[in-house]
Amino acid sequence: MIGRRAFISGMAGAAVPWRRAAYARTPAKARRVGLIMTTTPVAASHITAAFAEGLRELGYIEGKNVVFEYRWAEGRAERLPEVAADLVRQRVDVIVASSQGSALAAKRATQTIPIVMVNTRDPVEVGLVTSLARPGGNVTGLSQQLTPEIQAKQLQLLKELLHKGSQVVVLHSQATTVRLREYETAGQALGLRVKIVEVRSRDDLGRTLAAIARDRVDALLVPGDPFFFTERQQVAELAREHRLPGIYPTREFAEAGGLMSYSARLTEQFRRAAIYVDKILRGASPATLPVESPSHYELVINLKTAKALGLTIPPSLLQRADEVIE
């Protein structure tokens, strides 16, 4: 893999300068941090490692002065209320919610335990916070802010690879929270025909992608949701098998063999979440901690997959990539 540009993460709204020197002292007793993970331990191992490393840099050592209580929904959204309620019963000091669905489940389960959300689409719209600058309740953290402009950008990147009037299928599942209609609107503006197709289960993935290939669809767009993230290896393999170029919601898909991805970096978001947890454990109120949004979305291209699909990536696209996998 060739690094092209360093990933940059910024604060949205009234950012607070976090200085490591301010956290020289460690808590006198072990604090309990609950994590609601929407995927599986294997699929999210690098993410939880990034979070633990972020806390370790702030003086928290697992098993010494901090204890992690993991709860795994394993890609099943219906399990989120159950795992959130369990963490509330455990009386953890703070809950880290790894997706919009898990943050909503946590907020329904407790109005008092602080919640640090990660990877949420639009926390204001869904009622998690009052505003990004001043959340106003027991929830704060990081938002993906997947705006219509970002959704249009994903389609624009695909268009640079395809011929005029190409048809793009946007997959979705029951766990998808992005506005699918925005892809249709953006597609019309770009001269792309966009079709929305649902995947109902893991077993349905193969049948669905085979049917898409038979319809001679030109490309796939996979939005971010816990189901697709959990099954990203299978999604990428099936797309290659059926010769379907695609753009994916996170770099993990490109690393698994997907053609390209355009998103904020998840591991960086979880490292930043550790800062929020530290502030809260030291007495800060989530109501007054501004929500952070990414200032940079990285483009990752898998050149090996492009060659397998018989695609030539335009030089202008390669030059803009933050990372090229060869």
Q: Which fold has domain 2-144+264-295?
A: Rossmann fold (3.40.50)
Instruction: Please return the burial class of 44, using the count of CB atoms within 10 Å of its CB with bins 0-12, 13-18 and 19+.
Output: buried
pLDDT value of position 27: 45
pLDDT value of position 20: 33
Residues of the chain with pLDDT under 70: 1-28, 145
Domain locations in the chain as residue ranges: 2-144+264-295, 148-263+299-325
pLDDT value of position 14: 34
What is the residue-averaged pLDDT of the chain? 89
Q: Which fold has domain 148-263+299-325?
A: Rossmann fold (3.40.50)
pLDDT value of position 28: 52
Confidence (pTM): 0.84
pLDDT value of position 312: 93
List pLDDT tens digits, range 216-244: 899 999 998 888 999 999 999 999 999 99
pLDDT value of position 10: 39
